[in-house]
């Protein structure tokens, strides 16, 4: 089954006021990269907040000659069409993407078609740090190149985290004896055999003692 790992970088944290400046998508098939990618920088036509710049290091000057979202919207939608999306902290990315898709008069992305690895990690490791960096550390994934956030690099790291979250599961060795008919049946059989065990009579004990006093043939001692 083909899926798409997706990440974005933005001018800030508000999906109402801010815009997307980078989109990266990596296609995988049964958790293996197919080599198909969609990666683009976008001109937001607005300033980048200081906090956002410190996070990803992308400048307004770098983006001045880049396309606008509406210019690549159809190509982007064709790339992700009918594929499950894998996103870390999906609510953030979807808020920005769906706002832009609405403005481009294109169908929005349904949350039903998204696997949020942040939610998966929170369920699997409750109370732990579950950022992308924290998960890389937990799974011993080398993220030394991640000095700043990069949508494309983050997708590459997310691909490895995704495999760890969903493929490396310990096999369950739990046995439910209450529902195992063969076990229950065997227990019942053993209980029913209790009436077969009887006390021997005094007469039988005396016969047994006499038998033991007799000399047994030597050949019987060798068997």
Tokens 């307004």 found at: 60
Phi, psi of 207 (to 5 degrees): -65, -40
Helical axes 90-103 vs 69-80, angle rounded to 10°? 120
221 token code pair: 């001692």
Distance CA 158, CA 135 (A): 9
Query: What SS3 class is residue 124?
Result: helix
130 token code pair: 């579950």
Catalytic residue at 195? no
The active-site residue out of 39, 88, 149, 208 is 149
Taking every pair of Cα atoms in the chain, the longest distance, rounded to a whole number of angstroms, is 113
**Residue 111: its H or E element:** none
34, 175 Cβ separation under 8 angstroms: no
Distance CA 207, CA 209 (A): 6
Q: Which are the catalytic amino acids?
A: 149
């Amino acid at each position: 089954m083909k899926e798409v790992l997706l990440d974005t970088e933005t001018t800030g944290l508000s999906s109402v006021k801010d815009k997307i400046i980078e989109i990266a998508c990596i296609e995988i098939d049964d958790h293996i990269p197919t080599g198909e990618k969609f990666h683009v920088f976008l001109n937001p036509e607005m300033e980048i907040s200081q906090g956002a710049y410190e996070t990803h290091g992308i400048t307004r000057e770098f983006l001045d000659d880049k396309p606008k979202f509406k210019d690549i919207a159809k190509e982007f939608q064709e790339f992700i069409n009918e594929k499950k999306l894998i996103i870390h902290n999906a609510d953030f990315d979807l808020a920005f993407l769906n706002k832009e898709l609405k403005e481009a008069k294109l169908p929005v992305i349904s949350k039903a078609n998204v696997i949020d690895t942040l939610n998966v990690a929170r369920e699997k490791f409750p109370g732990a740090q579950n950022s992308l960096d924290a998960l890389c550390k937990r799974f011993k994934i080398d993220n030394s190149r991640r000095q700043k956030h990069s949508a494309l690099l983050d997708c590459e790291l997310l691909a490895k985290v995704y495999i760890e979250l969903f493929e490396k599961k310990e096999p369950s060795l739990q046995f439910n004896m209450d529902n195992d008919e063969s076990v229950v049946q065997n227990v019942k059989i053993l209980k029913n055999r209790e009436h077969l065990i009887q006390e021997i009579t005094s007469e039988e004990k005396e016969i047994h003692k006499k038998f033991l006093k007799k000399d047994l043939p030597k050949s019987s001692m060798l068997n």
